Structure 1
Amino acid sequence: MASQRDWDVQLPGILLAYRTTPQSSTGYTPAYLLFGREVCLPQGVAYGLPCDDSAPTEAAYVRTLRQRLQHAHTVVRKRLANVHRHQARLHDAGISAVRYEVDDLVWLLVPAVPVGTTPKLARPWKGPFRVVDKLSEVVYRIADTRPPGKRQVVHANRLKRCHVRPERLVVIPEVLAEPPPLDPPVSTYAATLPTGSISRTSTTAWSRSQTLCLLFLRLHVCNF
């Protein structure tokens, strides 16, 4: 199926292989659990494998078929119960229960995205919401913190604790009394400037650089 254009031609063979292969969870093939007998495959006929399950009478065939199906289904139920317990242990091995209390702030997972948008650029966590009631160990009633405060009941798997950042105090550096020395020194080109223009030029350059620094600090804080 390299071209992926003849999948309809390959599908019957794939389904035959799936239905005649024993499953690890049940121990039986899907065909046996449905028909009460294995499918007679071409290789079985070619090598003379027994595949005839005929009975002397119709009543005997029905009785034998019912017994085989009942026995297989009983065995499968027990095996599936063991498989479910094993999978539950694997699933719960690395999971720790997260509990929320009333008035806790949480984020709500909303994986659905509007039509025409990509999930990669979407924001799946909405909120924040506030927990208003604890219905059980894993079910909560939450309310939107924004008006009109719509309420909904959700499972704990869709919640994530919202940590509110403390307000950060932004300290703006004080203006230096003296501007920093210019590089190269003023003395190298002082002779080319009119009298009294050195202090004005240096002060103007320092004011511009200081303004840019303050703007950079404000933008950095806002984006952070």
Structure 2
Amino acid sequence: MLRAHCTERQDDWDKELPFVLFAARDSVQESLGYSLFELVYGQEMRNPLKMAKEQWDNPEKSPQLVSSYVEDLRKNLEDARKIAETYLSKSQEKMQRIYNKRSKARQFSIGEEVMILLPTRKSPFDARFQGPYTIAEKVDDLNYKVNTPNRRDKVQLYHINRIKKYAERTKEPKLPVG
């Protein structure tokens, strides 16, 4: 949401940031089954439309006792946490299956030079292949540890979809023009 909004409104995106954050916190996350606000506070966010609807539906609503409110909140948070864990686990498994389907059957050997898909310094939303780096260890068929001496962690774990074989450029002779 933030990337799309910043791309669309490059000059004054910072003024719209509170509205983007409000929308993100109030939106139900597919992987969790709840909004982020519900997981933190144990209840739906009360936006102006919901408050108007509550007032319309219950004009004489009696105030709730603090102790019963706290107990209800505690129970709602615990229930939401359990359900969110289940949703998140299922969602992670689904995303992993989808991601692994796109994996190409490739193998690298220890010491082989490779390129790694990494975010660029200009924009964390953009990525390009950088390197060459060397394979340090094969963890399993889809994951490799790679020596990355110029990065914060000297050895990092990468999925095979972010690795490609390094091919050194050869200088081609210049052809005569004419």
TM > 0.5 fold call: yes
Which amino acid is the alignment partner of residue 102 of structure 2?
G
What per-residue deviation string (whole Å, max 9, x for no partner) do you get for residues 119-164 of structure 1? xxx983437x6x7x7564444687xxxxxxxxx8565647544679
CA contact (8 A) 1:107 1:161 kept: yes
Name the count of aligned residue pairs: 148
Partner of 1:196: none
1:17, distance to aligned residue in structure 2 (A): 2.4
- Structural mapping, 1:48-87, within 5 Å: 48-49=56-57, 54-56=63-65, 58-87=66-95
Partner of 1:34: 40
Aligned mates of 2:106, 2:15 — CA distance in 1: 50
CA contact (8 A) 1:25 1:80 kept: yes
Which amino acid is the alignment partner of residue 93 of structure 1?
K
- Structural mapping, 1:109-188, within 5 Å: 109=116, 124-126=130-132, 134=137, 136-137=139-140, 138-139=143-144, 155=157, 157=160, 160-161=164-165
Residue segments in structure 2 that go unaligned for 5+ positions in a row: 123-127, 148-153
Judged with a 3 Å threshold, the aligned counterparts in structure 2 of structure 1 residues 64 and 29 are, in CA distance, closer, same or farther, namely same
Aligned mates of 2:74, 2:115 — CA distance in 1: 51
Larger Rg: 1
Aligned mates of 1:154, 1:63 — CA distance in 2: 45
Structure whose residues are more often strand by fraction: 2
Aligned mates of 1:81, 1:21 — CA distance in 2: 19
CA contact (8 A) 1:105 1:163 kept: no
Partner of 2:108: 100
CA contact (8 A) 1:140 1:154 kept: yes
Partner of 1:21: 27
CA contact (8 A) 1:112 1:124 kept: no
CA contact (8 A) 1:141 1:153 kept: yes
Q: SS at the partner of 2:30?
A: coil
What per-residue deviation string (whole Å, max 9, x for no partner) do you get for residues 72-96 of structure 1? 0100000000000000010001213
Pick 1 or 2: higher relative contact order, CA cutoff 8 A, min separation 6: 2
Q: CA RMSD in A?
A: 4.2
Which amino acid is the alignment partner of residue 35 of structure 1?
Y
Residue segments in structure 1 that go unaligned for 5+ positions in a row: 116-121, 143-151, 165-217
Aligned mates of 1:114, 1:7 — CA distance in 2: 20
TM-score (norm: length of structure 1): 0.48
